[in-house]
């Protein structure tokens, strides 16, 4: 349907797969959205849409070496909860770099750009602790930074507080007094976080999540006559949550919302939520959802008339649904110029070069079990049922003994499943399936391969929570080598904040090497 023919209906989530902590702003006819990326590089993808329905990836905020130091940061550390805003021709993103092993590194920072596609500036570090920073431009010209942190004098475990302080964009520093304005809507609720300030009809509104980013996640709102408070909580708080529905729902963990006004005067919210399957497990991670908003009696009402995230959303001003790559609809080869590709902690240019429809990887001593930068390239899993296929081979001669190139279903250093061609003595080789769980590795199966350096087809076939690792020689249908239970790999089972990634890797397992391998083609095929 097009304009004048009724609203376009789009299915939720609008960004499937691990796109958590969405933040949105509008500049003219365009909406811009960013999400968290943790240890993956490039970081903080920027998406653009003219109608909230069809999203286009236009760039990343963190896309070059030297902007941020991720080295040694373990999985589910890194970049948390960005906020994107625009003011007077400049885009602003504020975010937190979290190093869970070294609290002397990282903190809250600000980056700017005149074009959301980049380039973005180097970080300006903010003298403010905690996480989830946001920035608000008032109509009197003043700028206010805000964020969340553990309460200085908590009444209960993991009580947090939201602070507000003025920011001087010329001096690039926080100035004036700090104001603690919020500790959560519900007594005993943990982690009042993800705060955002807005000004609507002369009043200031503070939107915040609480309850922790799991099943108890919720969205609350407060308002005040001054940006520094005091803030009055809505009697309807939390204004949206699924926690009272129990764990058996198709969507859980609704929270971390951000509001935006469309050109026609309608209001909308993006938020994160999860879709469990195969029990209470969400391998796709925390995804970005869309919902309508109305205003009633001076308060925002989210998902009016329904009270929960809708499975489908009608967007009256949308022309048509033209889904893009980041919405998980493209099937086939994931070419090197595809924006879905990510590496770990450093840019992939350090070890990978585009090669036709595929890649040439320099084998690295670093393994997938270390918080470093292995020769790894991956994409988010965006579908419950999907086939991944690739063909891999060394550039010159067989793999050396102990060298391996393979595919991986990745949650973290300690939890993943991989299937690899492993080099042996005298040019021999074998395919080996390994499940790493809680840092403990189990060899599930191994099979001999014909000696030499010919291409081997490797893949993953996910059917719900069954992840079949498949292998075969060229021109033959690959056979299942082992099956891994996906319920052992998601963040419910392993901890952390990430969905699963599907990718390729190459390592010499600590030995010096100059070997290169070719990934002839990497296909992502939703079933």
The DSSP code sequence of 344-398 is: ESS-GGGTEEEETTEEEEE-BS--TTSSS--EEEEEE---SEEEEEEEEEESSSP
SS3 call for 494: helix
pLDDT of 200 reads 98
The tens digit of pLDDT for each residue in 43-64 reads 999 999 999 999 999 999 999 9
258 - beta bridge partners? Answer: 270
The rounded radius of gyration (Å) of the Cα atoms in the chain is: 24
Q: What is the pLDDT of residues 331-377, one digit of tens each?
A: 789 999 999 999 999 999 999 999 999 999 999 999 999 999 999 99
Structure tokens, 289:
């959802």
CB 485 within 8 A of CB 466: yes
Any catalytic annotation for residue 21? yes
Per-residue pLDDT at 227 exceeds 80? yes
Closest of 334, 210, 201, 269 to residue 31, by C-alpha: 269
**Residue of 51, 193, 210, 490 with catalytic role:** 193
**Which of helix, strand or coil describes residue 464?**
coil
Residue among 278, 522, 525 at smallest CA distance from 391: 522
- Please say if the pLDDT value at position 3 is more than 60: no
CB-based contact 472:456 (threshold 8 Å): yes
Cα separation, 285 vs 245, whole angstroms? 20
Chain mean position to CA 142:
31
Tell me, what's the pLDDT at 453? 85
Q: Supply 201's token pair.
A: 């009809």
CA 437/CA 280 separation, integer angstroms: 18
Q: Any idea which residue has 């009697």 for tokens?
A: 235
pLDDT for 1 equals 34
Q: pTM of the predicted model, to two decimals? A: 0.96
DSSP string of 108-133, one letter each residue: EEEEEESSTTSPPPPPEE-S--SEEE
The partner residues of 520 in beta bridges, in order of sequence, read none
User: Given this model, what pLDDT does residue 382 score?
Assistant: 96
Phi, psi of 486 (to 5 degrees): -65, -20
Query: Which tens digit of pLDDT belongs to each residue from 176-224?
Result: 999 999 999 999 989 999 999 999 999 999 999 999 999 999 999 999 9
Helix (H) and strand (E) counts in the chain: 1, 39
How far apart (Å, rounded) are the C-alpha atoms in residues 104 and 60? 26
Burial 63-101 (b: 16+ CB within 10 A, else e): beeebbebeebbbbbbbbbbbbbbbeeebbbbbbbbbee
Coil, strand, or helix at residue 55? coil
- Phi/psi at 473 (nearest 5 deg)? -85, 165
Q: What is the model's pLDDT at position 5?
A: 58
Contact 411, 519 (CB under 8 A): no
DSSP 8-state code for residue 488: G
How much is the pLDDT for 452? 83
Cα distances (angstroms) measured from residue 43 to each of 60, 70, 495, 499: 6, 11, 21, 15
Task: For residue 500, give the 3-state DSSP assignment.
Answer: coil
Averaged pLDDT, 268-286: 98
Asked if residues 115 and 148 have their Cβ atoms less than 8 Å apart, the reply is no
31 bridge partner residues: 26, 49
297 within 8 A of 201, measured Cβ to Cβ:
no
Residue % of the chain over a pLDDT of 70 = 99
Record the tokens describing residue 13, joined without a space.
């989530």
- Identify the residue whose tokens are 């919405």: 327
Tell the CATH topology of 332-526: Jelly Rolls (2.60.120)
Residue written as token pair 């901890």: 495
Nearest Cα residue to 272 out of 293, 287, 259: 287
| pLDDT at res. 6 | 66
Q: CA torsion, points 310, 316, 319, 324, in degrees to nearest 10?
A: -20
- Quick check: 326 pLDDT over 90? no
193 is catalytic: yes
User: β-pairing, 375-380 with 240-241?
Assistant: unpaired
Domain with CATH 2.60.120.200 in the chain: 332-526
Write the class of the CATH domain 8-327: mainly beta
Q: Looking at residue 56, what is its pLDDT?
A: 94
- 357 and 475 Cβ atoms separated by less than 8 Å: no
In the structure encoding, which two tokens stand for residue 192, read together? 């009042």
Q: Which part of the chain has CATH 2.115.10.20?
A: 8-327
Residues contacting residue 266 through CB under 8 Å, at least 6 positions apart? 292, 293, 316, 317
Across all residues in the chain, what is the average pLDDT?
95
DSSP class of 492: H
């Amino acid at each position: 349907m097009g304009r004048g023919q009724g609203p376009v209906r789009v299915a939720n989530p609008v960004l499937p797969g691990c796109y958590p902590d969405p933040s949105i702003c509008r500049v003219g006819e365009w909406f811009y959205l960013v999400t968290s990326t943790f240890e993956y590089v490039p970081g903080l993808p920027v998406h653009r849409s003219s109608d909230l329905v069809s999203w286009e990836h236009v760039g990343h905020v963190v896309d070059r070496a030297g902007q941020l130091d991720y080295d040694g940061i373990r999985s589910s550390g890194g970049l948390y909860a960005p906020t994107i805003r625009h003011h007077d021709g400049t885009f602003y993103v504020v975010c937190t770099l979290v190093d869970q092993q070294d609290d002397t590194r990282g903190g809250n920072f600000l980056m700017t750009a005149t074009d959301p596609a980049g380039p973005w500036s180097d970080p300006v570090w903010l003298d403010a602790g905690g996480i989830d920073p946001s920035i608000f431009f008032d109509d009197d010209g003043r700028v206010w930074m805000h964020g969340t942190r553990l309460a200085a004098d908590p009444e209960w475990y993991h009580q947090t507080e939201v602070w507000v302080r003025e920011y001087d964009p010329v001096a690039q520093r926080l100035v004036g007094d700090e104001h603690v304005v919020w500790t959560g809507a519900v007594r005993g609720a943990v982690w009042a976080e993800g705060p955002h300030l807005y000004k609507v009809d002369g009043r200031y509104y503070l939107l915040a999540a609480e309850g922790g980013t799991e099943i108890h996640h919720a969205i609350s709102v407060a308002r005040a006559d001054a940006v520094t408070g005091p803030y009055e909580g809505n009697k309807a708080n939390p204004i949206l949550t699924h926690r009272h529905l129990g764990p058996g729902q198709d969507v859980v963990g609704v929270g971390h919302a951000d509001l935006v006004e469309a050109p026609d005067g309608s209001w909308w919210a993006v938020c994160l939520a999860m879709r469990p399957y195969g029990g209470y497990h969400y391998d796709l991670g925390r995804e970005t959802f869309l919902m309508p908003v109305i205003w009633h009696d001076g308060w925002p009402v989210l998902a009016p008339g329904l009270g929960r995230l809708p499975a489908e959303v009608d967007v009256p001003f949308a022309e048509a649904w033209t889904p893009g790559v980041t919405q998980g609809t493209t099937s086939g080869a994931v070419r090197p110029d595809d924006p879905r590709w990510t590496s770990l902690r450093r840019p992939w240019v350090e070890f990978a070069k585009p090669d036709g429809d595929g890649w040439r990887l320099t084998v690295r001593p670093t393994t997938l079990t270390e918080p470093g930068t292995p020769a790894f390239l991956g994409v988010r899993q965006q579908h419950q049922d999907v086939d991944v296929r690739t063909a891999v081979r060394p550039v010159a001669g067989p793999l050396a003994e102990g060298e391996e190139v393979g595919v991986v279903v990745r949650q973290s250093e300690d939890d993943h499943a991989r299937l690899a061609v492993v080099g042996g003595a005298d040019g021999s080789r074998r395919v080996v399936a390994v499940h790493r769980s809680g840092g403990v590795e189990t060899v599930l199966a191994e099979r001999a391969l014909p000696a030499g350096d010919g291409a081997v087809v490797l893949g993953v076939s996910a059917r719900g929570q069954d992840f079949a690792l498949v292998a075969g020689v060229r021109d033959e249908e690959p056979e299942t080598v082992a099956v891994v239970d996906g319920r052992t790999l998601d963040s419910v089972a392993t901890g952390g904040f990430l969905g699963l990634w599907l990718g390729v890797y190459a390592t010499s397992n600590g030995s010096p090497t100059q070997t290169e391998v070719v990934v002839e083609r990497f296909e992502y095929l939703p079933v």
